[in-house]
Structure 1
Amino acid sequence: MPSLKDVKTKIGGVKKTAQITRAMNMVAAAKLRGAQSKMEAFRPYAEQFHAAMANLSAGTGGATFPLMEVREVKTVELVVVTSDRGLCGSFNANILKMAKRAVAQLQSEGKKVSVVCVGKKARNFFRKTGLMRQSYVDIMGTFQMFNARAIAQDAAANFLAGEADEVRIIYGRFHSIGVQRPEAVSLLPVKPLEGAEAATAPKSQAVYIYEPSQEEIMEVLLPMFLNVMVYHAMLEVSASEHAARMTAMDNATRACKDIIQNLTLIYNKTRQAGITAELMDIVGGAEALKG
């Protein structure tokens, strides 16, 4: 049985850990409010932008636009968006698992794969695989639209150079504080919505007359569309990261309380065993004196 000093030291250490996890939970909750408000404010814009692009591209063939060129897929690039920091449960691990499965599937089909890593967790995971083409780290805490633009322009330049025939983005989508799921979306080539996709896409009630022509507008909006998609993914990951960290720290705080209760029980048992042993010695000594 451990000594009283050892158990007391462990109880003190776990209490300090609980203070840290409780503080991290409060910090994550405060950051989540800001990240969630940004994400929820940007979602309607992204959806309407997507609807406008579907409207524009429905009547134009992709052959006239380099970013809409569909070719035989031999090389696929994955843009994997994770957080820079850990301590957020399985959030980053789930994104990386999806990316790993996608890489394995594409390689089994005989396709070459390259990876653009956004966030330290993605960079650390793919750094030794030989698949990483580019990485963007230390930006997820304070990213702006220009960061998303740089990533989108890099992916577009690689696509236009013929180094990648298809580009996908993998990120964690925020559903609620308790649910964040990884998601994969096709980034390039930009495809017009047709059939069932067009039926389920968000639609505007207005009928637009375009000036200048649809083709001229598409040349300007296609790069902007990529910026919006990348920025939207980064906003989703930011909100999901803080929500996952808040949940993880709350679970850690509760686990610390359970450990403290168990250690306190052990401490009391150890102290009681010591008292009983001392009483036995006293009683034994008294009996010996009587004899």
Structure 2
Amino acid sequence: MRDSIASLRHKIRSAQDLKSVVRSMKAIASSSIGQYESAVHSLDDYYYTVKLGLAASLGSTNQYAASHGTSTPQDMAPQQGLPSSSRVPAVGVIVFGSDQGLVGQFNESMVEFVVASLGNIPGKKHLWAVGERVQSRLQETDLATEVCFALPNSIHGITDLVGKILISLEAQREQGVINQVYIFHHRPESNTIYRPVNQQLLPLDDVWQRQLMDIEWPSNNLPEVMPNQDQTRRAFVREYLFVSLFRACAESLASENASRLSAMQRAEKNIDELQESLNQTFHRLRQSGIDEELFDVISGFEALS
């Protein structure tokens, strides 16, 4: 009886300690979500500004010029300075996951989405994983990862990560290893916590340019790129690549912490239920022990009488 009560006391203390850890992780996840979501929201306006600059520098103002009866310089043709490839496609795939666990099905759902999406994309695949956990999940499939990047611990480390990815991308493209690049990551959602999405990062082809041309210019004054249009265009392209990767990483980290917060909330609920069950069992056994001792006292008193 005493061993059972001692064992229950140990389990109750362990549950209390585990609950303290879960609460700490909940607090960390909540604060992390705030900083990453703030970064994503702050990038929205900047991302839109970069796309407007690209639309202007690539000559997408033709529609505005035509509607206003003006002319647009011919040297802003959309095809100028853009990468193109007529070879058999070799696809570079950047997959954002997590470095740490306790995130539910975060990495598993991403790997399933990557496998299903890449089945519709022709060409040889070169996968780059961002996060050790998602890399280990990818290795369980037929898709082998060639490079693995470590995720930053805060918003300040995303810039260094994006810089490393861009340097590797440029080296691979110069060597002719890849000519297409896709990004896969989770995006925060209000109803389902997050959802997996993908984006074609390169090449900046006709489809991408037509999407830029659909953007409405925010004023009636037509933009003018000066003094060096080619230099300006290349600068906007570099900034577009950077902000696209930065945004994908920030959204993935926000989704990861949202998934971890949800997992910790479920764990806290399970711990509460376990504690209630343990406490009930403990009190029942303790009361049973007290009753037996009282019966022994009464039986001894009756025997002496």
In the TM superposition, residue 61 of structure 1 has moved relative to its aligned partner by 4.0
SS at match of 1:113: strand
Instruction: Classify 1:200/1:56 alpha carbon distance in 2 versus 1 (closer, same or farther; 3 Å).
Output: same
2:173 pairs with 1:159: yes
In the TM superposition, residue 115 of structure 1 has moved relative to its aligned partner by 0.8
Counterpart position of 1:11: 12
Counterpart position of 2:133: 121
Confirm or deny: 8 A CA contact 1:76 1:111 kept in the other structure: yes
Confirm or deny: 8 A CA contact 2:181 2:201 kept in the other structure: yes
Q: Give distance in 1, aligned partners of 2:287 and 2:146.
A: 63
Counterpart position of 1:269: 284
2:149 pairs with 1:136: yes
Greater shift in the superposed pair: 195-204 or 258-267: 195-204
Counterpart position of 2:161: 147
Confirm or deny: 8 A CA contact 2:82 2:204 kept in the other structure: no
Deviations 1:23-67 (A, max 9, x none): 1111222233222222211221113213432444346344x4353
Q: What amino acid maps onto 1:60 in structure 2?
A: A
Q: Give distance in 1, aligned partners of 2:153 and 2:234.
A: 29
In the TM superposition, residue 85 of structure 1 has moved relative to its aligned partner by 2.3
Confirm or deny: 8 A CA contact 1:51 1:201 kept in the other structure: yes
Identity of aligned residues (%): 21
SS at match of 1:143: helix
Deviations 1:90-135 (A, max 9, x none): 33332233223334x15xx763211112222233334576722222
Q: What amino acid maps onto 2:77 in structure 1?
A: T
In the TM superposition, residue 168 of structure 1 has moved relative to its aligned partner by 0.2
Counterpart position of 2:106: 91
Q: What amino acid maps onto 2:250 in structure 1?
A: L
Deviations 1:145-200 (A, max 9, x none): 24312212322332343212311011111234961222111011013557984576
Superposition pairs for residues 50-61 of structure 1, below 5 Å? 50-57=51-58, 58=60, 60-61=77-78
- In structure 2, stretches of 5+ residues that fail to align are 61-75
Superposition pairs for residues 202-217 of structure 1, below 5 Å? 203-205=217-219, 206-212=221-227, 214-217=229-232
Instruction: Classify 1:55/1:210 alpha carbon distance in 2 versus 1 (closer, same or farther; 3 Å).
Output: closer
Q: Give distance in 2, aligned partners of 1:190 and 1:209.
A: 22
Confirm or deny: 8 A CA contact 2:92 2:180 kept in the other structure: yes
Greater shift in the superposed pair: 80-89 or 206-215: 206-215
Instruction: Classify 1:232/1:246 alpha carbon distance in 2 versus 1 (closer, same or farther; 3 Å).
Output: same
Instruction: Classify 1:212/1:146 alpha carbon distance in 2 versus 1 (closer, same or farther; 3 Å).
Output: farther
Greater shift in the superposed pair: 51-60 or 157-166: 51-60
RMSD: 3.3
Q: Give distance in 2, aligned partners of 1:86 and 1:71.
A: 42
SS at match of 2:157: coil
Q: What amino acid maps onto 2:144 in structure 1?
A: L
Structure 1 length normalisation: TM-score? 0.81
- In structure 1, stretches of 5+ residues that fail to align are none
Counterpart position of 2:266: 251
How many residues are treated as equivalent by the alignment?
285
Structure 2 length normalisation: TM-score? 0.78
Counterpart position of 2:67: none
In the TM superposition, residue 280 of structure 1 has moved relative to its aligned partner by 6.0
